[in-house]
């Protein structure tokens, strides 16, 4: 049988699609990748899945009466398939109606979501570009990944670049770090993924090198599974959301014992004295010593003080995964880790200081020249109106209501039309039962996706989009060395079309096609994006092939830069000549700017603030387990949940629910049993996995199960977001606080309801 191979790229890695008779039969990892991800295996099945959306489809109730349809029927109603001309006509007409009657401020086009890899066909960027070119829309700022860090860090260190992976590079760590404190651990599973896709899984390779170096790792996390295999490591189980208390106590120990770097604090920081008074108890009468912290975080006082002294004795790197700030008051552990690093005085030294994101994503700390990656621009939004990304349901439920965000007061717009492509809010948003209510507010919801995802099923107009394998593109990430050709491997499945083409046609109908396309065809855009990026790389001194040569050779790679990247090295050496972009030019351990906002949920210096739900709260009497809804090992978020790898990981056909044997025993739960996880916000089914790598008091459920629920009913597949709370991290950053939720679990003794998420809504009555 004749086979053809086409280079391609996904967020989980580069590969060749192997095609036989028009079907993808296999995805072979990119030869340059020594640590490819098994997630690739799910792709062929998903590309040809019966869950692919075949034709444009319109919800029956909406088709009958647009403005007065029963919006609570979204997700229940049947769909009517229509031809493309009819579907595009309906979308164009509805956009024009809403724009005409209510203005651009009634259209929501934030469309949060990871979409697919590829610089041109990034669905979320395309929605925004389309709506921006047509008069604007309400957008989303920040993200669910590191929203708290994004808006806190500029106040403290003048930039949020470190949280994007621009941290002291691994070469510096391997050569100089002796002690590596990993808050949130270094879970290998998360390093399968790079936003935009990567040619190589470099983080896994660097962890392997670190295992050979003279580095001691201390993994501070609620589960031992966060310890990477092969490294010399100690695991300290910590009560979730209490890292700030531990970090404060470590700083207190160093100051009390005179082990702090007074000179660095004086020359490179501001506000140390005010913060020191807080540590010493002058502000609230509580000394932030190790005994105090031990009672909060569950790690004993001696371990905390000894760890603090060990940090002061040698070159130490303090790293926090992104999960720490995806929690109520998630600003505090980040600020406290910077403050502790400042007390140690190693910021800007090789292998020392602080970093973020190791263990969260592939490519953090990978040595790479600081040049761009290919990416279409979303253009500018003429409306200039945004909400913080994670405040989606608040916006829909509370039009006209005021909210605070980063020192400013704004009001929520009144949204009539929601346009989503490249994201899955019924995967990513918190408190999905609340989102179900909010989702009834808009008059019209338009979704593009390739599959009948939970969000597509709850839309009014659904347009089938091609997958990466059905179009040409050029891809790469700013955390990876490669730029890669992505070649169309198969014809579009069923009637699916490229998002780009869908939007081009809609723009033509709306009279703004030239603004959307800038006169370029798809092929011309791919070439243009390559040439733009190549010009940038060339300016930095790298010889680049012309587009045709690149396309033929399928890839180009950047060399490792000669110099090690050390975060804030220049600032350390010349604090006055190379100040930080903060009001003081220094690291702010007390921020006058934040003080000026007067937010009691984000005080002006690193502070222990108990989250609204945690194991020390009164609510834990009723809901005694802390839910950790971490990233899934077997997929990317909800992408590929119907695929082979994810399906194989289901327990009883549901999401695995991991808990310690002592917690299982006291609840009479046995391994493999069907269970219900619940709290006051909702409940879901799952399959119990007794796992003593999880500390007692904690329940681990990965995200990504396709939400399979109805209002008021138990969710059937195991999406933890029916349990999480839909609150902002604080008024300063309004980020996602998914990691602060308490639950309980019990055996499910009734008959197991069938999972419906993996059937097309066209085939069920």
Report, as residue numbers or ranges, the catalytic residues.
Answer: 112, 114
Residues in region 240-279 near ligand MGD by CB under 6 A: 240-241, 243
The span from the CA of 557 to the CA of 444, in Å, is 45
Interacting residue with ligand MGD among 16, 74, 326, 658 (CB under 6 A) = 326
DSSP assignment of 351-381 equals T-EEEE-TTTSTTTT----S-----------
Instruction: Identify which range of 113-121, 154-162, 196-204, 303-311 contacts ligand MGD by CB under 6 A.
Output: 113-121
The span from the CA of 116 to the CA of 470, in Å, is 12
- Size, binding site for Mo ion by CB under 5 A: 1
3-class secondary structure, 720: helix
Minimal distance, residue 11 CB to ligand MGD, in Å: 8
Residue whose CB is less far from ligand MGD, 197 or 632:
632
Interacting residue with ligand MGD among 113, 139, 162, 351 (CB under 6 A) = 113
The span from the CA of 142 to the CA of 123, in Å, is 17
Contact between 760 and ligand MGD by CB under 6 A: the answer reads no
Contact between 726 and ligand MGD by CB under 6 A: the answer reads no
Residue whose CB is less far from ligand MGD, 69 or 133:
133
The H helix count followed by the E strand count for the chain is 25, 29
Contact between 682 and ligand MGD by CB under 6 A: the answer reads no
Q: Which does 114 bind (CB under 5 to 8 A by kind): Mo ion, ligand MGD, none?
A: ligand MGD
- Which single residue is written with the structure tokens 């296999």? 26
Contact between 222 and ligand MGD by CB under 6 A: the answer reads yes
Contact between 17 and ligand MGD by CB under 6 A: the answer reads no
Contact between 703 and ligand MGD by CB under 6 A: the answer reads yes
Please give the distance of CA 206 from its chain centroid, rounded to a whole number: 22
Contact between 703 and Mo ion by CB under 5 A: the answer reads no
Instruction: Identify which range of 570-578, 661-669, 684-692, 732-740 contacts ligand MGD by CB under 6 A.
Output: 732-740
Instruction: Identify which range of 77-85, 239-247, 334-342, 749-757 contacts ligand MGD by CB under 6 A.
Output: 239-247
**Residues 6 or more apart from 120 whose CB is under 8 A from it?**
374, 376, 473, 474, 500, 522, 525, 526, 529
The span from the CA of 570 to the CA of 540, in Å, is 20
Q: Which residue(s) pair with 413 in the sheet?
A: none
The span from the CA of 74 to the CA of 418, in Å, is 13
Contact between 189 and ligand MGD by CB under 6 A: the answer reads yes
Residue whose CB is less far from ligand MGD, 175 or 648:
648
Contact between 724 and ligand MGD by CB under 6 A: the answer reads yes
User: Residue 369 corresponds to which tokens in the numbers above?
Assistant: 């020249």
Instruction: Identify which range of 74-82, 237-245, 260-268, 531-539 contacts ligand MGD by CB under 6 A.
Output: 237-245
Q: Which does 602 bind (CB under 5 to 8 A by kind): Mo ion, ligand MGD, none?
A: none
Contact between 427 and ligand MGD by CB under 6 A: the answer reads yes
Contact between 144 and ligand MGD by CB under 6 A: the answer reads yes
**485-512 burial string, b = 16+ CB within 10 Å, else e?**
bbbbbbebbeebbbbbbbbbbbbebbeb
Residue whose CB is less far from Mo ion, 146 or 354:
146
Nearest position to Mo ion, beta carbon: 145
**Residues 6 or more apart from 100 whose CB is under 8 A from it?**
none
Residue window 583-622: x/- pattern of binding to ligand MGD, with contact defined by CB under 6 A = ----------------------------------------
Cβ(760)–Cβ(50) under 8 Å? Answer: yes
Contact between 707 and ligand MGD by CB under 6 A: the answer reads no
Ranges of beta strands (E only) in 623-754 are 625-628, 656-659, 674-679, 682-690, 698-700, 742-747
Closest by CA position to 565, among listed 482, 478, 483: 478
The span from the CA of 737 to the CA of 747, in Å, is 28
Instruction: Identify which range of 17-25, 247-255, 365-373, 448-456 contacts ligand MGD by CB under 6 A.
Output: 448-456
Please give the distance of CA 259 from its chain centroid, rounded to a whole number: 37
The span from the CA of 243 to the CA of 533, in Å, is 40
User: Residue 185 corresponds to which tokens in the numbers above?
Assistant: 């651990």
The span from the CA of 647 to the CA of 583, in Å, is 51
Q: Which does 448 bind (CB under 5 to 8 A by kind): ligand MGD, Mo ion, none?
A: ligand MGD
Contact between 129 and ligand MGD by CB under 6 A: the answer reads no
Contact between 655 and ligand MGD by CB under 6 A: the answer reads no
Contact between 325 and Mo ion by CB under 5 A: the answer reads no
Residue whose CB is less far from ligand MGD, 485 or 736:
736
Contact between 184 and ligand MGD by CB under 6 A: the answer reads yes
- DSSP letter for 249, please: H
User: Residue 92 corresponds to which tokens in the numbers above?
Assistant: 């164009």
Interacting residue with Mo ion among 145, 150, 190, 450 (CB under 5 A) = 145
Interacting residue with ligand MGD among 49, 253, 406, 450 (CB under 6 A) = 450
Residues in region 462-501 near ligand MGD by CB under 6 A: 465, 499
Q: Which does 582 bind (CB under 5 to 8 A by kind): Mo ion, ligand MGD, none?
A: none
Contact between 733 and Mo ion by CB under 5 A: the answer reads no
- Size, binding site for ligand MGD by CB under 6 A: 64
Cα Rg, the chain, nearest whole Å: 25
Contact between 717 and ligand MGD by CB under 6 A: the answer reads no
Instruction: Identify which range of 221-229, 306-314, 504-512, 585-593 contacts ligand MGD by CB under 6 A.
Output: 221-229
Instruction: Identify which range of 21-29, 215-223, 526-534, 679-687 contacts ligand MGD by CB under 6 A.
Output: 215-223
Residue whose CB is less far from ligand MGD, 376 or 739:
739
Q: Which does 631 bind (CB under 5 to 8 A by kind): ligand MGD, Mo ion, none?
A: ligand MGD
Contact between 630 and ligand MGD by CB under 6 A: the answer reads yes
Contact between 223 and ligand MGD by CB under 6 A: the answer reads yes
Cβ(452)–Cβ(350) under 8 Å? Answer: no
Give the orientation angle of helix 499-510 with respect to helix 84-102, to 10 degrees. Answer: 50
User: Would you state the torsion angle of the CA atoms of residues 193, 199, 203, 207, taken in this order, to the nearest 10 degrees?
Assistant: 130
Residue whose CB is less far from Mo ion, 392 or 669:
392
**234-246 burial string, b = 16+ CB within 10 Å, else e?**
ebbbbbbbbbbbb
Contact between 697 and ligand MGD by CB under 6 A: the answer reads no
**Residues 6 or more apart from 562 whose CB is under 8 A from it?**
none
The span from the CA of 108 to the CA of 455, in Å, is 15
3-class secondary structure, 89: helix
Q: Which does 721 bind (CB under 5 to 8 A by kind): ligand MGD, Mo ion, none?
A: ligand MGD
End-to-end CA gap in the chain: 41
Q: Kindly report the CA angle at 125 between 122 and 130, in degrees rounded to 5?
A: 120
Contact between 702 and Mo ion by CB under 5 A: the answer reads no
Q: Which does 189 bind (CB under 5 to 8 A by kind): ligand MGD, Mo ion, none?
A: ligand MGD
Instruction: Identify which range of 91-99, 138-146, 151-159, 440-448 contacts Mo ion by CB under 5 A.
Output: 138-146
Q: Are strands 408-411 and 402-405 parallel, antiparallel or unpaired?
A: antiparallel
User: Residue 343 corresponds to which tokens in the numbers above?
Assistant: 């007390």
Cβ(607)–Cβ(251) under 8 Å? Answer: no
Residue whose CB is less far from Mo ion, 145 or 477:
145
Contact between 323 and ligand MGD by CB under 6 A: the answer reads yes
Instruction: Check residue 504 and give left, alpha or beta (phi > 0: left; psi -120 to 50: alpha).
Output: alpha
Cβ(149)–Cβ(117) under 8 Å? Answer: no
**Binding stretches for ligand MGD (CB under 6 A):** 113-116, 121, 123, 144-145, 183-185, 187, 189-190, 192-193, 220-223, 226, 238, 240-241, 243, 321-324, 326-327, 359-361, 421-424, 427-428, 448-451, 453, 465, 499, 628-633, 636-639, 703, 720-721, 724, 736, 738-739
**Binding stretches for Mo ion (CB under 5 A):** 145
């Amino acid at each position: 049988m004749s086979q053809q191979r086409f280079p391609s790229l996904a967020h989980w890695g580069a590969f060749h699609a192997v095609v036989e008779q028009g079907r993808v039969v296999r995805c072979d990892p990119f030869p340059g990748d020594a640590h490819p991800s098994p997630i690739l295996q799910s792709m062929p099945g998903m590309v040809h899945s019966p869950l692919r959306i075949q034709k444009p489809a319109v919800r029956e109730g909406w088709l009958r009466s647009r403005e007065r349809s029963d919006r609570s029927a979204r997700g229940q109603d049947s769909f009517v398939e229509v031809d493309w001309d009819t579907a595009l006509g309906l979308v164009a007409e509805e956009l024009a109606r809403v724009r005409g009657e209510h203005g651009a401020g009634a259209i929501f086009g934030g469309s949060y979501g990871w979409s697919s890899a590829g610089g041109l066909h990034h669905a979320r960027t395309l929605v925004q570009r389309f709506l921006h070119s047509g008069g604007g829309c309400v957008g989303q700022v920040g993200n669910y990944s590191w929203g708290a860090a994004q808006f806190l860090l500029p106040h403290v260190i003048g930039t949020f670049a470190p949280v994007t992976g621009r941290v002291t590079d691994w070469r510096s760590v391997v050569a100089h770090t002796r002690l590596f404190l990993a808050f949130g651990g270094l879970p290998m599973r998360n390093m399968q993924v790079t936003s935009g896709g990567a040619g190589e899984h470099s983080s896994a390779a660097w962890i392997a090198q670190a295992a050979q170096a003279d580095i001691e790792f201390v993994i501070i996390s609620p589960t031992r599974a966060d310890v990477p295999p092969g490294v010399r490591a100690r695991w300290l189980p910590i009560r979730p959301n209490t890292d700030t208390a531990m970090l404060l106590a470590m700083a207190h120990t160093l100051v009390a014992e005179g082990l702090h770097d007074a000179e660095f604090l004086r020359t490179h920081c501001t506000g140390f004295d005010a913060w020191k008074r807080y540590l010493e108890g002058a502000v609230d009468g509580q000394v932030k010593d190790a005994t105090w912290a031990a009672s909060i975080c569950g790690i004993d006082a001696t371990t905390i003080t000894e760890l603090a002294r060990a940090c002061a004795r040698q070159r130490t790197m303090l790293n926090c995964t992104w999960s720490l700030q995806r929690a109520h008051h998630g600003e505090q552990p980040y600020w406290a880790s910077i403050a502790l690093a400042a007390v140690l005085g190693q910021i800007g030294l090789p292998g020392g200081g602080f970093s973020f994101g190791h263990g969260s994503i592939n490519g953090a700390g990978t040595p790479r020249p600081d040049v761009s990656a290919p990416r279409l621009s979303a253009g500018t939004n003429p409306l200039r109106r945004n909400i913080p990304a994670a405040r989606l349901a608040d916006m829909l439920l509370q039009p006209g209501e005021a909210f605070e965000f980063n020192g400013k007061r704004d009001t929520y717009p009144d949204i009539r039309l929601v346009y989503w492509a490249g994201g899955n809010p019924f995967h990513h948003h918190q408190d999905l039962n609340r989102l179900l209510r909010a989702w009834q507010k808009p008059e019209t919801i338009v979704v593009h996706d390739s599959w009948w995802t939970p969000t597509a099923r709850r839309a009014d107009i659904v347009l089938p989009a091609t997958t990466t394998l059905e179009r040409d593109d050029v891809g790469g990430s700013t955390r990876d060395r490669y730029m890669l050709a992505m070649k169309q491997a198969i014809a579009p499945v069923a009637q699916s079309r490229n998002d780009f083409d869908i939007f081009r046609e809609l723009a033509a109908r709306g009279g703004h096609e030239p603004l959307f396309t800038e006169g370029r065809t798809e092929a011309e855009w791919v070439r243009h994006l390559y040439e733009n990026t190549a010009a940038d790389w060339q300016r930095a001194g790298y010889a680049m092939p012309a587009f045709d040569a690149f396309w033929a050779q399928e890839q180009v790679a950047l060399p490792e830069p000669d110099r090690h990247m050390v975060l804030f090295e220049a600032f350390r050496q010349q604090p006055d000549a190379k100040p930080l972009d903060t009001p003081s030019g220094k690291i702010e351990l007390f921020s006058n700017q934040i003080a000026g906002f007067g937010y009691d949920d984000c005080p002006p210096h690193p502070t222990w603030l108990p989250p609204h739900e945690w194991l020390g709260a009164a609510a834990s009497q009723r809901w005694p387990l802390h839910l950790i809804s971490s990233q899934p090992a077997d997929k990317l978020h909800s992408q590929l949940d119907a695929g082979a790898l994810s399906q194989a990981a289901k327990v009883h056909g549901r999401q695995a629910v991991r808990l310690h044997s002592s917690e299982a025993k006291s609840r009479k739960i046995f391994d493999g049993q069907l269970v219900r996880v619940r709290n006051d916000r909702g409940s879901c089914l799952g399959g119990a996995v007794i796992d003593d790598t999880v500390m007692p008091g904690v329940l681990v459920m990965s995200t990504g199960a396709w939400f399979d629920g109805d209002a008021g009913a138990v969710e059937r597949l195991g999406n933890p977001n029916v349990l999480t709370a839909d609150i902002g991290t604080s008024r300063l950053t309004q980020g996602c606080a998914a990691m602060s939720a308490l639950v309980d679990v019990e055996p499910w003794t009734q008959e197991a309801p069938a999972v419906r998420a993996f059937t097309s809504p066209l085939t069920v009555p």
